[in-house]
Structure 1
Amino acid sequence: MRPGSAVTNPLGVESLHNGPMRLASARLVLLLAVALVASGCTQLVDGRPVAGQVVTKDGVDPSFIRGTDGGPIDRLAATAITDVDKFWQETFPAAFGKPWEPVDGGIYSVDTSDPAAKPPPCTEKASDVEGNAFYCPSADAIAWDRAALLPVLKDRFGDAAVVIVLAHEMGHAVQRRMGITPEAERRDPDKYPTILTEAMADCFAGAFIKWVNDGKSEHLDIGTDTLDSALGALITFKDPVGTSPDDRSAHGNAFDRVSAFQDGYLKDAKFCGAMTVQNRPFTQQSFRSVDDRDRGGNLPFDEMLESIAPDLNNYYKALVATKGATWTEPKATTVREEPTCSGDQGPVAFCPKDKAIEVDVAEDLPELHAKIGDYATGVLLASRYGLAARQAAGLKTDGEEAAEGALCLAGAYTREVFTREQGFGLSPGDLDEAVQVLLAYDYAARDASGRNAVDPGFKRVDLFRNGVFTGVKACGF
């Protein structure tokens, strides 16, 4: 977060549905834990849940893949490609008014550990594919690194990560069939910035996963935990914090990429294809001060608590007043263990009886702050103050409605500080930190008794972003 700073207002709309984008070579580049490979436009992030398994009802013979070794990685990839193609056979005509044309330039698996391996289209040598999966628009081909990308994704996030990446790449093939080609981009570069075309491909991947989870896939059977897994894998490919949204290679921050995926999952492919620079907002920001950049956008733990508590109090005081109710500032108390004043709410708790907020300053919250970033702390505090606001307004603080409402209010508060022109505001990366803490932990989505937590993380993120994009009116307040 940024103390006393000015911020721009990219969310000056009431809609969830807005953004920009550009095709280029449509590459997903993985920043591995130990090295930056290829173009270096994405960054691997810690602090997410491990992906669930994708159960294949029966494997697909990978012999149609050029360069395949016939092994389990390519068998999984062949299964994903086969079912994604089937999805588009069914979906493309209804969404875009013409038949689906399968990818005809080939599907390539490249062993980048073999110096003698043949390069796929859009590359000069096999090593150009290292760490990558990509769609080549000039050849209408899809390729991936069988040695250093897909196995890494599978080991770290599970089978779901492989499926999501390949569904995303097929999304770029969909764009070509929509007329979003490199030639079209060169004619009108402002119409198809990379950040928009990447969001569209993420959205298409979300629509495909919904189709699979609806039981329509012939070969894939994805469990309910895979939504969190898919998002965890997806945000591995986010841009480095502080990347300008106007950067020609920008792919989007974690919040924007997750939002696009969820829009596809919750809506449909036609919605994804209608994304434009006019109707889709992006939250990605570059750093606006040297000090903020040098801090990585993060305040020290003690300074964060000192800065955000009075800001939360002022925000919720004004909000409660709109309901004709009186706000009493909660007594903020620091404790050196997990709060127990009202059930198990995690490292920050709202105590209804005492009208107090208890904050663990010894272990769990400082650890989350250090591991994820300062807005992990911010989201937890904002949700507990949200419970205090519900109590002041005469609303329930226990039950599913209270848990969902408090989380949504944390999103509404985030909207306020993100769009604020002056004063205490968000830094680049804060919304990504919100996504990470909501995927990995349910603390911000528990009621005042510590129960009725919103689950899974996919739903927590969706409720939060409803507050971010729509404001208080989405929160039942």
Structure 2
Amino acid sequence: MASGCTRWVDGHPGAGKVVAKGGVDPGFIRGTDGGPVDRLAATAITDIDAFWEAAFPDAFGEKWRPLEGGIYSVDTADPSAKPPPCTEKASDVEGNAFYCPSADAIAWDRAALLPVLQDRFGDAAVVIVLAHEVGHAVQRRMGITPEAERRDPQKYPTILTEAMADCFAGSFVKWVNDGKSEHLAIGTDTLDSALGALITFRDPVGTSPQDRAAHGNAFDRVSAFQDGYQQGTRFCGAMTVENRPFTQQAFTTLDDRDRGGNLPFDEMLEAVTDDLGRYYGALVTARGKAWTPPKTTPTREEPDCSGDQGPVAFCPKDGSVEVEVTRELPELHAEIGDYATGVLLASRYGLAARSAAGEGVEGADAAASALCLAGAYTREVFTRRQGFGLSPGDLDEAVQVLLAHDYAARDATGRQAVEPGFQRVDVFRGGVFEGVKACGLG
């Protein structure tokens, strides 16, 4: 049983909409009650199957074989409900959706999973979960079976097969977004919801990537989904432990574990501003320009030195950075984690670096560059062995704040921003994976 794909932890994305063009009769689903949740699931499964009927031969040179063992909707609130394959009793499915490789079947909890996902994140979450589970069926048809995984666990660790399934789900969503689906229509806002759902399915902070049940942190899962969306099914199918980087980390100290990887707000603010000054100073001086670290000014009100940039703002007139320290930024810090603070500061320092390097700080290109530079800085601190560095969970916090807010992706006027959250995460990833060269800093 490919289980645990839908285990979630707290997150705060917005719900996106999936428009079902008529819907599909769920009568082919075993155990269905014929209700709206199963109708949405039936619609998703039908279009996912149509996607793979077209995509599988092109990607893997063989005809697609639909699921042979059936589709199961389980009312886990009913003690008399029949268990699906790979389980002994219906309650084994509680809060879960899974692919059963031995039976080539998919099952979900109709009572305590799909309606909860739908209510919390919108229809998109249901579609993405089911696309992910069918992704495991794709792997079986590729020869990545439980037997193969047991024979060579180093070749097919769980974190890799889960990333591949996320990637396949991204490819399907792109197909729908391109208007090729018969029954589903997905808007741009739903991409943010899809990523929000993946965030809630991440591993608990501090899980080792070598853990046999590891599914990946939010950054890794979002990256796999976006790669599938952009690169397609062949790319997903070619993932290996050699070519797929993972950022998930275990805690290395007891103190960090006990803090959940988070520094107190004031301590984080002092540590990250000093480090940002050194990092961006090196970038600017390497380009033959002078650098003076921005004066960081705390304010009790939202900064207004240059338009609406949110709780952290770069002030072009004097090159300073204003930081609101009484309400929104401390709240984001407490709600999401300390690297929410770090990302917002890193992007505003990115504007300061662009200004010092003689580059513009207004307009869409400047906004994207500042966000990318925050990713490049994140790349630097993620790989450090000494000094200020990232804790497990920090990259997840970056994804969360970028999905929920556009502050890190605004220009110095506050009027231009990278939209939507899906695109913000992608621009940030460019800096993380490629460094400064991706960021348009001359």
CA separation in 2, counterparts of 1:322 and 1:196? 38
CA drift of 1:27 comes to: 2.0
- Post-superposition Cα deviations, 1:142-182, rounded to whole Å, max 9, x if no partner, equal 00000100000000001110000000000000000000001
Residue 29 of structure 1 contacts residue 131 of structure 1 at CA under 8 Å; is this kept in 2? no
Measured on the aligned residues, the alpha-carbon RMSD in Å equals 0.7
- Post-superposition Cα deviations, 1:314-365, rounded to whole Å, max 9, x if no partner, equal 0000001121111111111000010000000000000011110000011110
CA drift of 1:451 comes to: 1.3
The aligned amino acid for 1:66 is: R
Q: Is 1:123 paired with 2:68?
A: no
Q: Is 1:231 paired with 2:207?
A: no
Which of 354, 361, 368 lines up with 2:318 in the alignment? 354
1:296 maps to: 260
CA separation in 2, counterparts of 1:260 and 1:86? 22
2:9 maps to: 44
1:157 maps to: 121
The aligned amino acid for 1:146 is: R
Q: Secondary structure at the match of 1:333?
A: strand
The aligned amino acid for 1:116 is: S
CA separation in 2, counterparts of 1:392 and 1:421? 29
2:181 maps to: 217
Which of 456, 460, 465 lines up with 2:424 in the alignment? 460
1:175 maps to: 139
TM-score (norm 2): 0.99
The aligned amino acid for 2:72 is: Y
Q: Is 1:60 paired with 2:36?
A: no
Q: Is 1:27 paired with 2:3?
A: yes
2:169 maps to: 205
Could you list the runs of 5+ residues in structure 2 that have no partner in the other structure?
Answer: none
The aligned amino acid for 2:406 is: D
Could you list the runs of 5+ residues in structure 1 that have no partner in the other structure?
Answer: 1-24, 31-41
2:107 maps to: 143
- Post-superposition Cα deviations, 1:249-298, rounded to whole Å, max 9, x if no partner, equal 00000000000000000110000000000001100000000000011000
1:195 maps to: 159
1:21 maps to: none
Greater shift after overlay, 328-337 or 436-445? 328-337
1:106 maps to: 70
CA separation in 1, counterparts of 2:128 and 2:139? 17
Residues 439-454 of structure 1: pairs in structure 2 closer than 5 A? 439-454=403-418
Q: How many residues align?
A: 441
Residue 176 of structure 2 contacts residue 185 of structure 2 at CA under 8 Å; is this kept in 1? yes
CA separation in 1, counterparts of 2:305 and 2:409? 17
CA drift of 1:58 comes to: 1.2
1:78 maps to: 42
CA separation in 2, counterparts of 1:304 and 1:185? 42
Residue 11 of structure 2 contacts residue 196 of structure 2 at CA under 8 Å; is this kept in 1? no
Residues 336-415 of structure 1: pairs in structure 2 closer than 5 A? 336-415=300-379
TM-score (norm 1): 0.92
The aligned amino acid for 1:127 is: S
Q: Secondary structure at the match of 2:188?
A: coil
2:282 maps to: 318
Q: Is 1:69 paired with 2:45?
A: no
- Post-superposition Cα deviations, 1:431-451, rounded to whole Å, max 9, x if no partner, equal 000000000000000000111
Higher share of residues assigned helix: 2
Residue 244 of structure 1 contacts residue 250 of structure 1 at CA under 8 Å; is this kept in 2? yes
Q: Secondary structure at the match of 2:304?
A: coil
2:224 maps to: 260
Q: Which has the higher contact order (CA 8 A, sep 6+)?
A: 1
CA separation in 1, counterparts of 2:412 and 2:378? 21
